[in-house]
Chain A
Amino acid sequence: MNHEPRTMNYLIPFFTIIPLGAAFLISLFGKRIKGLPDFLANLGSFSLLALSLYSIFLVIGGRTLVYKVGGWAPPFGICMVLDALSTFMLVTVNLVSFLVTVYCINYMEKYSDKYKFYTLFMLMLAGMNGIIITGDLFNLFVFLEIASISSYALVAFGTEAEELEASFKYAVMGSVASSFILLGIALLYSYTSTLNMADISGVLAEKQPATLVNFIAVLFLAGFGLKAALVPFHAWLPDAHPSAPAPISAMLSGVLIKVLGVYALMRIFFNLLGVNNTILSLFLFLGAISMLVGVFLAIGQWDFKRLLAYHSVSQIGYVILGIGLGTPLGVLGGLFHLFNHSLFKSLLFLNSGAVDYSLGTRDLQKMGGLREKMPVTAATNLIASMSIAGVPPFNGFWSKLIIILACLQVNRFGYAICAVLASILTLASFMKVQKYAFLGKFSEKLKTIKEVPLAMKLSMVILAIICIFAGALLLPLFKGFLDSAVNVLLLNNYKEAVFKAAI
């Protein structure tokens, strides 16, 4: 029993091989053979989903699997690490990506050059998967850049004037952040003379605490904080996410800011640099400000997607607040809210894309009474709005409840009150969306719209069903999935686990 999963190590690099191969095959043959890009992209993301669901069974019990690329043992070579936290993030990313890829079959007919879209999409997916499974710091930077550059190009895909402006702003701010991250990596390499993440955590644990490590921590917080859209660094998000085509907005808001920002922050701060109370209170402070600023700016918006983009800022604040508490219950709430937010935020953006596909507008004041003509979209939007607002028994309620209880558990009443206030205002703004878009009187000039095609309906319905039942992850039968992810962060044995598994 101890030897059997170890021989399955060779599956780990396939998380990057499959999307890279699909991307370049689509780029080579996509123009000539019709229907090949759709088929290859969906096949690729479905196989990634199957692989990540299978890898849940490989890491049951908190086991860590390590794959040595090229046969070089760490710390000399690059290694790929699969532990419980990586599996959790892989399932989140690949589930949302598969459903968005199904949605893209119909939605992207309106744009030209669909095969170029799929190439960039698969490259972005390869970058995100690579960040999650890597165990080497510079490898993380390279995959981060692959994913970021693909997303800059994808935001500008429609080449309207506003999309180009938003993409330019996003590209400049994103590359400054990447330069800060590279500067931090350079400083860390010169301090510890190794690039392997497990080895760095071992070396830093032995040396005396130095001011240089605090400077490196601030550089990483600024760099990855901008990728995660925390509040002083969030200015690119309200322009970039609405301007992108709707499936790309769903991917950006749903998974990209989480993998590039929150996952990298968790891995680097909890496993490499080591947390102390200063860093945890910085996380709490930034999380609370993000929650409040995001939701206050969101209420006054009349553009459907801009409102959703501001809500992304606010909900990421919830996740950072939960993680910043540092207790097992807090980190559990943060991770569970990350999973839930991927689901309902992608569903909300896909809904706005469906409305855009049928109507051609995103302005809430021009819609009204869409419930009669687009019943599936209206029903899934109702489910997603109730999830994000935290209405029981949908999944948003459970994760927000855990975060608020965890705040009360450590006697931080101010943060708990902030969380409740943000939740109430979220409910208010989604009541506004429901009233103006779906309920109300049906205006006559919208008589000719129809419901969206089958592929788009299918992906929205599947996401809505998972939203309803995701609360079941807290049942004792499935709770081990979340608990082992929490344990990877909070127990201090990243180095021993990796080196023991690498033999």
Chain B
Amino acid sequence: MKKNEPGMTLIVKTITRLTVGLILLYGIYIVLHGHISPGGGFAGGVIIALSLVHLMLAFGKDFALKKISEATASILESLGALMFLLIALLGFFGGYFFLNFFLGKGEPFKLFSAGIIPLCNIAICLKVGAGLFAIFTILVLSKGKEKSKE
């Protein structure tokens, strides 16, 4: 019989190779169009994290952790939060905290409009995506002394 390979069967692995990239792309689409259509940072971040979880489920955790390790996820998470805080602080130049100041407002329904909202969406997507992936990794590897925070 076959040896004990990590991950699932060959059919699942083939389909995963095809769909993981599409899921990631879909997540990025939802994040970037957050000010035009429903979605935004939270929902897009969750979908991006799910693409990585999909990879982990189909191929085994070592393969997925080679792509993005736990340390990288932790760094991305803090970077996302700091970026959000920085964008908010930059509003001080316009006079108020969190002011919508950036690059003119553009016309409605275009991609480059609505001030700082797309940048905030990207920051939130980084934090939520990396955070969810880190939570899943830590819950799966239940040895070690890490404590799961948000």
Contact = CB atoms under 8 A, between A and B. Distances in A.
Interface of A: 10, 13, 17, 20-21, 24-25, 27-28, 67-71, 112-113, 116, 119-120, 149, 153, 156-157, 159
14 contacts: A17-B85, A17-B88, A17-B89, A20-B81, A20-B85, A21-B85, A25-B82, A28-B79, A69-B96, A70-B96, A70-B97, A70-B100, A71-B94, A157-B147
B39 interface: no
B145 A70 contact: no
Contact of B91 (A67, A70, A119, A149): A70
Contacts of B69: none
A116 B96 contact: no
Contacts of A24: 78, 81-82, 85
B5 interface: no
Given A149-B150, A153-B147, A157-B147, A27 B74 contact: yes
B149 A153 contact: yes
Nearest to B78: A28
B98 A69 contact: yes
Contacts of A10: 92, 97
B38 interface: no
A27 B96 contact: no
Contact of B96 (A17, A71, A156, A157): A71
Closest 3 CB pairs of A and B: A28-B78, A71-B96, A70-B98
Interface SS of chain A: helix, strand, loop or mixed? helix
Contacts of B98: 69-70
B22 interface: no
Interface of B: 74-75, 77-79, 81-82, 85, 88-89, 91-92, 94-100, 145, 147, 149-150
Contact of A28 (B75, B88, B96, B100): B75
Given A25-B78, A28-B82, 14 more contacts: A10-B97, A17-B88, A20-B85, A21-B85, A24-B85, A28-B78, A69-B96, A69-B98, A70-B99, A71-B99, A113-B145, A149-B150, A153-B147, A159-B147
A27 B81 CA distance: 10
A13 B75 CA distance: 26
B149 A120 contact: yes
A10 B74 CA distance: 32
Contacts of B91: 70
A27 B100 contact: no
Contact of B82 (A21, A67, A69, A119): A21
A65 to B, nearest CB: 14
A10 B89 CA distance: 11
Nearest to B95: A71
A69 B94 CA distance: 12
Nearest to A27: B78
A268 to B, nearest CB: 25
B147 to A, nearest CB: 6
Given A28-B75, A28-B78, A28-B82, A159 B145 contact: yes
Interface centre among A20, A71, A157 (most CB of B within 10 A): A71
A157 B82 CA distance: 24
Contacts of A69: 96-98
Contact of B147 (A21, A27, A28, A116): A116
A68 B85 contact: no
A27 B73 CA distance: 12
Nearest to B94: A71
Nearest to A157: B147
A27 B74 CA distance: 8
Contacts of A28: 75, 78-79, 82
A20 B95 CA distance: 21
B96 to A, nearest CB: 4
Contacts of B147: 113, 116, 153, 156-157, 159
Contacts of B78: 24-25, 27-28
A243 B91 CA distance: 42
